[in-house]
Every structure is written in C-alpha cells, then in structure tokens.
C-alpha cells in the first residue's frame, strides 16, 4: 500500500461511513481512505465492532443528562432504533447480493454444464465457498441480532443508572443548599469579626499615634537639654583652658624671679611646687566638671585669685 494506516484511521473512517448512513465494510473503508490492505482493514474493523458497545454505552452516559427533556430522550431512542434497523438492513442487503450472485452462478452452471463439464469440480468448489459465505453471513446476522439484544439490555441498564443519577443529583442539590446556608452563616460571622477587628486596629493606631506624638515632644526636650549641657561643657572647657594658660604664665614668671631673687628661693620653691601640682588639679577639676559643671567653674575661678594673692605676698616680702 502507498502508506501505512492505523487503527484510529480505520475507526474514524467507519464512524464517518455510519454517519453517511452506510454499513462499514472492508471495501467501503478502503475506498474512503484511498489505501490500506484488506487484511489490515479487516483486523482494525473487527476491533471497531468489538468496541462499538463500549462507545455506545459512553455515548448513552453523555446523553443521560438529568435535565434533558423527555422528548429529546425519546428522539435519541428512536434514532438508535433506526440506526440498528439500518444496520440490519445493510447486513441483509449484503446477504441478498451474495445470494443473487450465487443464484446467477448456479444458473450459468446449468446453462453451460455441457460445455464446461471439465470445470464442474472447480464450480462445485465455488458453490461450496458461496454456501459457506452464505452461512457465514447468516451467522453474522445472528450475531448482529444478539448484539442488538445486548445493546437493548444495556440501554435499559443505562436508563436505570440515569434514574439513580437523578436521585443522587437531587440529594446533592439538597446538600448544596445546606452548605450554602452554612456558608452564609460563616460569612456573616466573619463580617462581624472583621468589623470588630477593624475597630480594634483603629483604636490601637490612635494610641500609637498619641505615643508617637508624646515621644516626639520628649525627644525635642531632650535635644534642647543636650544642647544646653553641651554649651555649658564647652564654656567650662574654655574657662579651664584660660586657667591653665594663667597658671603657665605664673610658672614662667616664678622661674624668672627665682634666677633674679635667689634670696627668696625657699618661698619661690614652695610656690613652684604649688604650680607643679596645678596641672593635676586642673585634670581633676575637668573630670569633676563633667559631673558637675557649675562647681568646676566656681573652683576654677577661685584658683587664679589664690595665685594672685601669693604673688602679692611675694612682692610685699621683696619690698
């Protein structure tokens, strides 16, 4: 053959031939496909016939719609009966053709028996083959009748299953309505809880906003206090630096006076010792100022006065 054919090709062709109102045969399928060996077509056609019952049952399941009008179901049954009748008629037509062919061959044998005596054995064989084909056709017709009866029984079973499906559908509808009622109750409860939750969230947001405003005010106050403290600390550091500069100047002056006034060495040494202790005192004063700035400023203001009084005493003693 020109190309290979598949089981699906043969089944599709058979379905299309049935739709056209004809009985699917090997020759009709080959003519419809335009290709295919008789053996292959016969094998796939047999599988089509074996699967016809299952396909009809599946088709009945698809047609068994619970809400289908009774008139539609009745027309479907009539259509199926017509299809069966057409199949029987097609089978009988094929059998009649075979019988007519056989009868013509028998008449030809009788007319030419004298001239074709030598071919009598071959013709008998052909007659036997034709009789066998007739019997086979009759057997096939009986098989078709049996299949038709089986299909009718299946249709009755499908009708019973359809009624059961209708009953289950009614029960399912009742269950669905109950579920809808429960769902509506749950939705109402959820809406109430959602509103309560939204109210609670708004209250929490209001409290949070109040806390944020209060925190902002406290932060501004702390920033103001920090700025004031920083300024006081800077002022104290500047005062301490001035005190240190004054102390350094006093120490330099004491050293110069020690070279000139050796007679007052003891007094100057005591004063120098005090001046040497001044940096340590200043460091202590700075640490103390970080704890208490006003006290440090007072202490720093008093130290230069004591140094001035000491220098005044030294000048008086020199005089």
Name the residue among 23, 47, 48, 27 with its Cα closest to residue 37: 27
How far from the centroid of its chain's Cα atoms is residue 84's Cα?
51
Whether residue 176 is found in the same domain as residue 238: no
Is 119 inside any structural domain? yes
- Are residues 167 and 52 part of one domain? yes
Write the pLDDT tens digit of every residue in 103-149: 776 687 678 777 767 776 787 888 788 888 888 888 998 888 898 88
* Neighbour count for residue 159 (Cβ, 10 Å): 14
pLDDT score at 319: 47
Residues 15 and 141 reside in one and the same domain: yes
Residue 27 has pLDDT above 90, yes or no: yes
Co-location of 129 and 277 in the same domain: no
Residue 185 lies in a domain: no
Task: Looking at the structure, tell me whether residues 134 and 276 fall in a common domain.
Answer: no
Is position 299 within any domain? yes
Same structural domain for residues 298 and 154? Answer: no
Name the token pair of 53: 């019952």
In a domain, 296, yes or no: yes
37 and 167, same domain (yes or no):
yes
Is the model more confident about 55 or about 309? 55
Q: 264 versus 41: which is more confidently predicted?
A: 41
Q: Which two structure tokens, joined as six digits, stand for 113?
A: 């028996």
CA neighbor of 281 nearest in space, from 308, 307, 263? 307
Do 167 and 240 sit in the same domain of this protein? Answer: no
Q: What is the pLDDT of residue 29?
A: 93
Domain boundary among 149, 180, 211: 180
Domain count, the chain: 2
Q: Which residue has the higher pLDDT, 299 or 75?
A: 75
Question: Is the model's pLDDT at 300 over the cut of 50?
Answer: yes
Residue 1 pLDDT > 50, yes or no? no
Instruction: For residues 66-75, give the mean pLDDT.
Output: 63
Asked if residue 215 is part of any domain, the answer here is no
Burial environment of residue 254 by CB neighbours within 10 A (0 to 12, 13 to 18, 19 or more): buried
- Is residue 6 within 8 A of residue 18, CB to CB? The reply is no
Average pLDDT rounded to a whole number, residues 9-38 = 90
pLDDT at residue 66, rounded to an integer = 55
* pLDDT value of position 91: 55
Pair (131, 255) in one structural domain = no
Q: Does residue 198 belong to any structural domain of this protein?
A: no
**Which pairs count as long-range contacts for 253-256, CB under 8 Å and 24+ apart, including other chains?**
253/311
Residue 217 lies in a domain: no
Q: What is the model's pLDDT at position 2?
A: 45
Domain boundary among 180, 196, 217: 180
pLDDT at 256 over 70: yes
**Position 209 in a domain:** no
Task: Please check whether residues 130 and 61 belong to one and the same domain.
Answer: yes
Same domain, 41 and 167: yes
Considering the domain architecture, whether residues 18 and 119 belong to the same structural domain is answered as yes
Which whole number is the average pLDDT over 158-174? Answer: 88
Q: Say which range, 106-110, 114-118, 173-177, 205-209, has the weakest mean pLDDT.
A: 114-118
Q: What is the pLDDT of residue 169?
A: 86
What is the domain range of residue 169? 7-180
pLDDT in the model for residue 106: 67
Q: Could you tell me the two tokens for 274?
A: 């005090």
């Amino acid at each position: 053959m020109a190309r290979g054919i598949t089981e699906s090709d043969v089944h599709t062709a058979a379905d299309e031939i049935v739709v056209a109102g004809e009985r699917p045969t090997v020759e009709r399928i080959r003519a419809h496909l335009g290709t295919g060996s008789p053996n292959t077509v016969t094998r796939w056609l047999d599988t089509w016939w074996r699967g016809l019952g299952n396909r009809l049952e599946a088709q009945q399941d698809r047609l068994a719609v619970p809400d289908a009008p009774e008139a539609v179901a009745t027309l479907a049954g009539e259509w199926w009966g017509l299809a069966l009748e057409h199949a029987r008629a097609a089978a009988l037509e094929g059998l009649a053709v075979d019988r007519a062919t056989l009868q013509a061959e028998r008449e030809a044998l009788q007319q030419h028996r004298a001239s074709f005596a030598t071919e009598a054995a071959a013709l008998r064989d052909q007659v036997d083959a034709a009789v066998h084909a007739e019997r086979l056709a009759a057997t096939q017709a009986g098989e078709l009748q049996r299949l038709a009866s089986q299909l009718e029984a299946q249709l009755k079973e499908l009708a019973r299953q359809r009624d059961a499906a209708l009953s289950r559908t009614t029960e399912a509808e009742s269950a669905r309505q109950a579920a809808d009622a429960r769902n509506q109750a749950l939705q109402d409860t959820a809406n109430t809880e959602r509103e309560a939750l939204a109210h609670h969230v708004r209250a929490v947001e209001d409290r949070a906003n109040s806390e944020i405003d209060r925190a902002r005010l406290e932060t501004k106050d702390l920033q103001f206090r920090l700025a004031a403290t920083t300024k006081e600390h800077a002022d104290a550091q500047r005062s301490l630096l001035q005190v240190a500069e004054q102390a350094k100047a006093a120490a330099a002056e004491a050293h110069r006076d020690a070279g000139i006034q050796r007679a007052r060495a003891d007094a100057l040494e005591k004063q120098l010792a005090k001046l040497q202790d001044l940096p340590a005192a200043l460091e202590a004063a700075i640490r103390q100022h970080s704890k208490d700035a006003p006290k440090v400023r007072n202490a720093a203001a008093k130290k230069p006065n004591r140094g001035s009084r000491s220098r005044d005493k030294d000048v008086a003693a020199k005089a």
